[in-house]
Structure 1
């Protein structure tokens, strides 16, 4: 996020946020978006081949959520969506220990992108309703989040897209975090 973008947002007071929803395939990104939109029928969720854009009004902010497919063939295209991103919601399947190294590699590559340097990072540790789900502490360690540069705002939150556990709380964190930076609001 460049200084000019911040100044423009303050001047226009547009109360709008651009959020990228990313993660490996089958992590639950689209299901989380559906849950955020009011718990629409979750049984019809299909893998996202490309991207979906949904706008949600939350706490008087207009949130443009870009849900981008996580298949290996789509990941090289993620960079096309980085411009003007205010927050990243990284979704991880907490039961998928086999792909934890892939998750770490993709997340590290993502957060090293200069165009995302100012974006807040929420890691949703999804599928907590399933047996064998890793704890948030395990995920913080596995993803080495504590080594992120000082100034990078981040949070790891256990959630379940199916039950709704902590999904709204995560969105609250994102909105409060971004608003405190872009709109000079107190938390």
Structure 2
């Protein structure tokens, strides 16, 4: 039954109720995905081992429940990533900014994923992780090496991060929040981090 009370209840929930967003976090092995997940969830560094399969946690931030699926990145299990694509609203692709030898491999995996129909509406957040290391590539270098400027009709953002300190992680969540629930940056923008964190 339709009543004015129902209308106000729905309006109140849409304005003040908890919002949810499903996030898939992937990247090559040893990029720091699990460290990021638990830094966001627990606020601390946890000892990790290579993820075989997945970890899933709900991260509460600014009245939003981010359900984050952290999927292992070893080459033998990357074909399983597609099983997590359905209903993904945000894709976090984590890059080890110190791993210059595998940045092309990261680009190939990202390109392959973005071609998937099930991810066509997902926004893309790239975490350029391990910025605390002395030879780390910055966000501009990774933008170039991943070919992000060539993406068309895809909301994307790149953020320099350090999983162990937490630097840059919440800025990334703010961007995801703005793309899903507000008027944020348009597609194809980079973070304005100057060099390293």
**Gaps spanning 5+ residues in structure 1: where?**
1-9, 181-185
Determine helix, strand or coil for the equivalent of 1:37.
helix
* Equivalent residue number for residue 69 of structure 2: 66
* Equivalent residue number for residue 132 of structure 1: 135
**Gaps spanning 5+ residues in structure 2: where?**
1-9, 185-197
Determine helix, strand or coil for the equivalent of 2:145.
helix
Determine helix, strand or coil for the equivalent of 1:71.
coil
Determine helix, strand or coil for the equivalent of 1:129.
coil
Check the 8 A contact 2:35/2:45 in 1, yes or no.
no
Check the 8 A contact 2:45/2:164 in 1, yes or no.
no
Aligned residues: 171
Max Rg structure: 2
| 1:18 maps to 2:22 | yes
2 CA distance for matches of 1:55 and 1:163?
Answer: 20
Which one has more relative contact order, counting CA pairs under 8 Å at least 6 apart?
1
* Equivalent residue number for residue 35 of structure 2: 31
Deviation string, structure 1 residues 63-96 (Cα, Å, up to 9, x no partner): 1100000000110000000000000000000000
Compute the TM-score of the two structures, normalised by the length of structure 2: 0.82
Q: What is the deviation of 1:15?
A: 1.9
Written as runs of structure 1 = structure 2, the 5 A alignment for 1:1-187 is 15-42=19-46, 44-150=47-153, 152-180=154-182, 186-187=183-184
Deviation string, structure 1 residues 47-66 (Cα, Å, up to 9, x no partner): 11100110111111111100
1 CA distance for matches of 2:125 and 2:90?
Answer: 8
Compute the TM-score of the two structures, normalised by the length of structure 1: 0.87
Check the 8 A contact 2:93/2:124 in 1, yes or no.
yes
Q: What is the deviation of 1:102?
A: 0.5
